[in-house]
Amino acid sequence: MSAALAIEPSPAPVAVLSDAGRDLLFREARTHNGWSDRPIPEALLRELYDLTKFGPTAVNATPARFVFVTSDEGKAKLAELASGNNKAKILAAPATVIIGYDLDFMDHNAKLFPHAPTMLEGMRGTPAAQELAFRNSSLQGGYFILAARALGLDTGPMSGFDNAAVDEAFFPGRNVKSNFIVSLGYGSGENLFPRSPRLDFEDAARFA
């Protein structure tokens, strides 16, 4: 009697994002410059943060700090510290979020990395802390933009503002530095530029 052939189990199906989802996050998403007057509920902004926070960072340090500027007073103050056309964009958007980085991120090490609760303390005040905080807050800013798109919001990321003045106005008394800002809302299509070209794989990537 011949031995039974071993049958390899079929691999479990891998969940992937649909084409429509990829369009929403990447292919059809745009940087918006004009906004409808449709407001963003606070609950949606909280949901946006709650998605963003799951993006990975080094040692789970999560150094990004977010200021959701939604009041007329806050928008006017931020717009005064921005340059050129960014002023009007901030005033028109229902929200503009300041994404900063906390140089005292190690204060939360015990909560965020409980199996090694003091391992980051030696970084305090060092260039390595600045590098970690800036790099990982930039990562978190990218997660933030994708999370916003996933929730049906349009985004308009910007630099072009006085970082030192924004730090003083919106992070007073804290060891937090601004990285960049992102206007949020429902894009009107106004001043929407044609999509610029992107590099092909051969121009930007290689195998090694």
* CATH code: domain of residue 46: 3.40.109.10
Per the prediction, the chain carries an average pLDDT of 95
**Domain tally, the chain:** 1
pLDDT beyond 60 at 1 = no
Mean pLDDT of 114-139: 96
Task: Go through 4-37 and write b for each residue having 16 or more CB atoms within 10 A of its CB, e for each that does not.
Answer: eeeeeeeeeeeeeeeeeeeebbeeebebbbbbbe
Q: DSSP letter at 194?
A: P
On whether residue 200 sits in a domain, the answer given is no
pLDDT beyond 80 at 7 = no
| pLDDT interval class at 5 (50, 70, 90) | low
The model's pTM is 0.92
pLDDT beyond 70 at 3 = no
- Of 86-95, 164-173, 189-198, the range with the lowest mean pLDDT is 189-198
On whether residue 60 sits in a domain, the answer given is yes
On whether residue 9 sits in a domain, the answer given is no
| 35 DSSP β-pair partners | 187
CA 204 from centre of chain: 23
Q: What is the pLDDT of residues 133-191, one digit of tens each?
A: 999 999 999 999 999 999 999 999 999 999 999 999 999 999 999 999 999 999 998 88
Q: What is the pLDDT of residues 28-48, one digit of tens each?
A: 999 999 999 999 999 999 999
* Domain boundaries, position 119: 30-185
| pLDDT interval class at 10 (50, 70, 90) | confident
- Using CA atoms, how far apart are residues 184 and 202, in angstroms rounded to an integer? 34
pLDDT beyond 90 at 12 = no
